[in-house]
Amino acid sequence: MKALVLSDVHANIYALEAVWSKENDSDIVYCAGDLVDYGPFPGEVIAWMREHNAVCVQGNHDRKVAALYRRPDQLKDTPDGEWKWKHDNAGKLGEDDITLLERLPESVSFWMDGFGYRMQHLYYKYETIESLHQFDEYWRSHAEEDVREAEHRRLIFGHTHRRTVHYLGDRELWLNPGSVSYRRKDDPSKDAHYMTITDGRIEMKSVEYDRSPLLAATKATRLCAGELEAGLRFFG
């Protein structure tokens, strides 16, 4: 079985489509949250996830955009100098899209090729699990009952935008597929980052894509200076 593992798509449909063009033989798609915010095409990303029956969990930016949508007074009264990506995205989405974001679970568990998995957007802020003891404690207290007794245990996180496979033992690891959309400031790569898991084998992957439509869409927004600068850095 082949799974495509994504995270932190951040309203970047062009990167998402580029990934899919390489991995469209995948049997299932998992996304570790943050479908929206900090990108210009939130509705298109949500529609893609629906179309491909992606298994998603809720990210902090998904919650943030959905909460702002429920406060139309804030959207209406926010001046241009304070207009952020979350305002842009909330203003572009409709009720069905927001309901989907609100209903995304905090975590999901599943079996695949003899491995037990638990997927959640983040561990704790930007911290990571660094010891087998820490892993065992987290799994014991958080893993759903259907995978709790798995012999081979794997956690999937997103949030940090740093692609990683971290082994704590021979049968315990956590992984982060990185961000489909953008890197942290210390990583100059502009490629889309993701992972595939095929018959249990994890592969880190990336793909180049045309960022020019994202750059044009970013320039056409009414973003405040700081948010516009971030968008130009991501997509320029």
Q: What per-residue confidence (pLDDT) applies to 145?
A: 87
pLDDT band at 76 (very low <50, low <70, confident <90, very high): confident
User: Given strand 164-167, what is the order of strands in its sheet?
Assistant: 107-112, 115-120, 153-156, 172-176, 164-167
pLDDT band at 96 (very low <50, low <70, confident <90, very high): very high
Spell out the SS3 assignment of the chain: CEEEEECCCCCCHHHHHHHHHHHCCCCEEEECCCCCCCCCCHHHHHHHHHHCCCEECCCHHHHHHHHHHCCHHHHHHCCHHHCCHHHHHHHHCCHHHHHHHHHCCCEEEEEECCEEEEEECCCECCECCCCHHHHHHHHHHHCCCCCCCCCCEEEECCCCCCCEEEECCCCEEEEECCCCCCCCCCCCCCCEEEEEEECCEEEEEEECCCCHHHHHHHHCCCCCHHHHHHHHHHHC
| Closest CA relative to residue 119, chosen from 95, 97, 143, 145 | 143
Question: Quick one: CATH architecture of 2-210?
Answer: 4-Layer Sandwich (3.60)
Domains of the chain, by residue range, sit at 2-210
User: What average pLDDT score do residues 13-19 get?
Assistant: 99
CB 65 within 8 A of CB 93: yes
The tokens describing 92, both together, are: 């572009």
C-alpha span between 177 and 158 (Å, rounded): 7
User: What average pLDDT score do residues 89-112 get?
Assistant: 98
Q: What per-residue confidence (pLDDT) applies to 206?
A: 98
Q: What per-residue confidence (pLDDT) applies to 90?
A: 98
CB 122 within 8 A of CB 102: no
Q: What per-residue confidence (pLDDT) applies to 116?
A: 98
pLDDT band at 196 (very low <50, low <70, confident <90, very high): very high
Q: What per-residue confidence (pLDDT) applies to 8?
A: 99
pLDDT band at 185 (very low <50, low <70, confident <90, very high): confident
Average pLDDT score over the chain: 96
